[in-house]
Amino acid sequence: CWSSVGNRHVGKQELSIGENCDRIATVQHEFLHALGFWHEQSRSDRDDYVTIVWDRILSGREHNFNMYSDSVSDSLNVPYDYTSVMHYSKTAFQNGTEPTIVTRISDFENVIGQRMDFSDYDLLKLNRLYNCSSSLSFLDSCDFELENICGMIQGAGDNADWQRVSQAPGGPENDHSNMGQCADSGFFMHFDTSSANVGDTARLETRLLYPKRGFQCLEFYLYNSGSENNQVKIYTREYTAGLPDGVLTLQRGIQEIPIGSWQLYYVTLQVTEKFRVVFEGLRGSESSAGGLSIDDINLSETRCPHHIWRIQNFTQLLDSQNRNVYSPPYYSPKGYAYQVYLDLSSTTNVGIYFYLISGANDDQLQWPCPWQQATMTLLDQNPDIRKRMSNQRSITTDPTMTNGNESYFWDKPSKLGYVALFPNGTQYYRTRGYGTSAFITYERLKSREFIKGDDVYILLTV
């Protein structure tokens, strides 16, 4: 894994992200080098924050720890960043078992060297270096902490309103952003269905948004403390010169909303004109003791994940004897059935593996499964999508890959798989898994907001 630092002005410039260098953050690391970034521990002020232990470094690798003057490496007035994707880990190029980098604040000893994603400061420096003042993909983020509710408005054509509250009768007792951890903060929007009539609706509309791409992904958390018959409908109101009042289009209806917990939802949009997103709550037919609540809305011009694997009561799972967790079955857009396995058996690392399984379309599909990329993302549930450091791994189904004998690794599950059982007792075939035993350390898993409300989310795209 290597790259020159900055533009070498030689035409096409090489960087290496080959075998064992294909983690997303490793790719980010090498591209930041090409864009002009030195390692974080090469800053001129690094000795204020870390100590380099030279006699623990492999002979001939000392140059990797060079420090550069302000005239060579500009910090761009950004503080030293222990969380940078450009920082070496404490074990970098060690000649034994002792750390080569010691942080002056011991709490950051196991933080340096993260290879999950850009840090906030990485992005700040990149934007300053290239004078970027806006994003091509970000549209909006709202956690309702401010009274202006991010410029949202109460919609027309309804007979009730959404209210900004910090708790609601019947639940939730706190918002999703802070989970009750911060005094005098923690707000969300709530539609009280207990005082509404059957069929009553409440609409909440975002500010006007201006798309650049033509595809968007809406993400939000939803809490139902009322009836399972309550519904939420997501609309877009799109404006054109000929239709100044906008055209309302239903994008998704959400029914049978679980009672009593915050749950993550994604909605795929395809909007090309200026628009608003409209959240409509609907009072169901059964008695309702509470209502509907929404929080932590994010809208970006990116692709939504195909599937969301929610793992509840995660800390209990870590403490249990059975620490092997298989996802429900899913189907890819091309019809391949698959499953993901989260391996919690190690005492240091979490593993993750992708499996093809027998499915309804197998007789119509091409085998061995050719060149499907599966991306498995452990979601950092920070309320603002711009501040997340999610952890992801991708694998590709190479149809020529073998099992070490004459069989193909990604062949039809019923041909080479073994029999497995779903929780309901249904039998199916599952191939060998492919992935990594070092997806994330338990220490990093408990950092950021990977575990929130005792929920973990794995986002899946194939």
What residues form the annotated binding site for Zn(2+)?
Answer: 29, 33, 39
- Amino acid 230 reads N
Q: Quick one: which H or E segment has residue 16?
A: strand 15-16
Cβ neighbors of 289 (< 8 A, separation 6 or more) are: 169, 170, 194, 225, 226
142 closest CA partner among 385, 438, 409: 385
The CB density around residue 286, as the number of other CB atoms within 10 Å, is: 11
Whether omega for the bond prior to residue 368 falls within 30 degrees of 0, making it cis, is yes
The residue ranges of DSSP E strands in 116-182, in sequence order, are 138-142, 153-154, 163-165
Question: CB atoms < 10 A from the CB of 238, how many?
Answer: 18
Selecting among 30, 40, 219, 238, the annotated active-site residue is 30
**30 flagged as catalytic:** yes
Q: Which amino acid is at 73?
A: S
ω into 172 cis (within 30 of 0): yes
Structure tokens at 438: 């070092």
∠ CA 385-115-7 to the nearest 5 degrees?
90
Alpha helices in 286-361 (DSSP H): 314-319
Residues marked as catalytic? 30
